């Protein structure tokens, strides 16, 4: 887990100029090849597709209907299956989209192995990675909150592949910009569980989220709650509380 302050510029480099963000059916008015993913309050999440013989790419945008701007939060990308016949396979996916107030939280997943990188020389391939990303639709800003890129090399019928050694089993978002996530590592008796959280804030037009570890051990996944900036959970049968 990469823990700390990860800030990404939320400037015109990632913002789509002058979008009305008017929803008409399943599309955004005036945005070609758009498709609505989610609408909650004033926040709209949508994709814009670009397609060719070599690639199919969806750029995922977040916008606020009251402010007329959009910011890119992630990508869905499909690439051809090399030497395995026709069709495409996902290389990048944006998953688990949550909307709370002006905030949007999602997981950007990238797995080069799924794009046909099955090789005996596994060092030639990147391992799978997951990045927790957040966007503020009102401010038009995005940030990377945390990432998982630890993996183990495992044999398969097509050579060696790289499989992740950690996973987020729960992610939570509040309208205050608070984020919490439960991470599990290992398996069986060697499995460990950790609870992390942060409060996203904008400073000088950059969004950041300074991460802290709040618990480790026998955390009850279903007990985790996030209200405003207050995080609560059960640890070994005992209630716990923290302010992010």
DSSP 141-152: EEEEEEEE--EE
pTM for this model (two decimals)? 0.81
Of the chain, the percentage scoring pLDDT greater than 70 comes to 74
User: What integer is the mean pLDDT of 141-155?
Assistant: 78
User: What integer is the mean pLDDT of 152-177?
Assistant: 74
Model confidence pLDDT, tens digit, residues 96-122: 999 999 999 999 998 765 444 544 444
- CA dihedral over 110, 132, 96, 102, signed as positive or negative: negative
Asked if pLDDT for residue 13 goes beyond 70, the answer is: no
- Phi and psi of 208, rounded to 5°? -140, 165
Least confident interval from 37-46, 132-141, 149-158: 149-158
CA–CA gap between residue 181 and residue 146 (Å, rounded): 10
Contact predicate 134/140, CB 8 Å: no
CA–CA gap between residue 123 and residue 52 (Å, rounded): 29
User: What integer is the mean pLDDT of 152-166?
Assistant: 58
Q: Provide the pLDDT confidence category of residue 42 given band limits of 50, 70 and 90.
A: very high
- CA dihedral over 106, 37, 33, 52, signed as positive or negative: positive
Q: Provide the pLDDT confidence category of residue 189 given band limits of 50, 70 and 90.
A: low
Question: Alpha-carbon Rg of the chain, whole angstroms?
Answer: 19
58-70 burial, b if ≥16 CB within 10 A, otherwise e? bbbbbbbbeeebb
Give the pLDDT confidence score for residue 16 in this predicted structure: 56
Asked if pLDDT for residue 190 goes beyond 80, the answer is: no
CA–CA gap between residue 2 and residue 24 (Å, rounded): 40
CA–CA gap between residue 161 and residue 158 (Å, rounded): 8
CA–CA gap between residue 243 and residue 231 (Å, rounded): 6
Model confidence pLDDT, tens digit, residues 51-89: 876 778 999 999 999 887 899 999 999 877 664 555 667
Residue that wins the pLDDT comparison between 51 and 213: 213
Q: Provide the pLDDT confidence category of residue 10 given band limits of 50, 70 and 90.
A: very low
Of the chain, the percentage scoring pLDDT greater than 90 comes to 61
Give the pLDDT confidence score for residue 20 in this predicted structure: 77
Least confident interval from 39-43, 50-54, 170-174, 228-232: 50-54
Give the pLDDT confidence score for residue 67 in this predicted structure: 83
CA–CA gap between residue 119 and residue 104 (Å, rounded): 36
Give the pLDDT confidence score for residue 152 in this predicted structure: 54
CA–CA gap between residue 63 and residue 85 (Å, rounded): 38
User: What integer is the mean pLDDT of 134-139?
Assistant: 96
- Bin 122: left if φ > 0, else alpha if -120 < ψ < 50, else beta: alpha
Give the pLDDT confidence score for residue 29 in this predicted structure: 92
Asked if pLDDT for residue 125 goes beyond 80, the answer is: no
């Amino acid at each position: 887990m990469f823990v700390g302050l990860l800030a990404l510029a939320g400037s015109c480099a990632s913002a789509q100029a002058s979008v009305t963000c008017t929803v008409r059916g399943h599309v955004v008015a005036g945005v070609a090849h758009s498709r609505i993913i989610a609408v909650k309050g004033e926040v709209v999440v949508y994709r814009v597709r670009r397609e060719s013989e070599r690639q199919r790419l969806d750029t995922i945008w977040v916008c606020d209907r009251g402010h007329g701007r959009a910011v890119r939060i992630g990508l869905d990308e499909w690439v051809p299956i090399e030497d395995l016949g026709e069709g495409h396979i996902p290389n990048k996916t944006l998953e688990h989209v949550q909307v709370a107030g002006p905030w949007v939280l999602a997981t950007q997943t990238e797995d080069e192995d799924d794009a046909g990188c099955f090789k005996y020389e596994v060092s030639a391939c990147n391992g799978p990675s997951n990045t927790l990303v957040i966007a503020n639709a009102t401010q038009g800003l995005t940030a990377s909150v945390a990432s998982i890129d630890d993996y183990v090399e495992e044999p398969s019928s097509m050579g060696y592949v790289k499989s992740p050694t950690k996973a987020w089993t729960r992610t939570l978002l509040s309208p205050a910009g608070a984020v919490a996530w439960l991470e599990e590592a290992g398996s069986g008796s060697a499995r460990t569980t950790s609870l992390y959280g942060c409060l996203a804030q904008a400073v000088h037009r950059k969004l950041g989220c300074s991460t802290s570890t709040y618990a480790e051990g026998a955390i009850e996944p279903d007990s985790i709650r996030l209200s405003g900036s207050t995080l609560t959970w059960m640890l070994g049968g005992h209630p716990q509380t923290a302010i992010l």
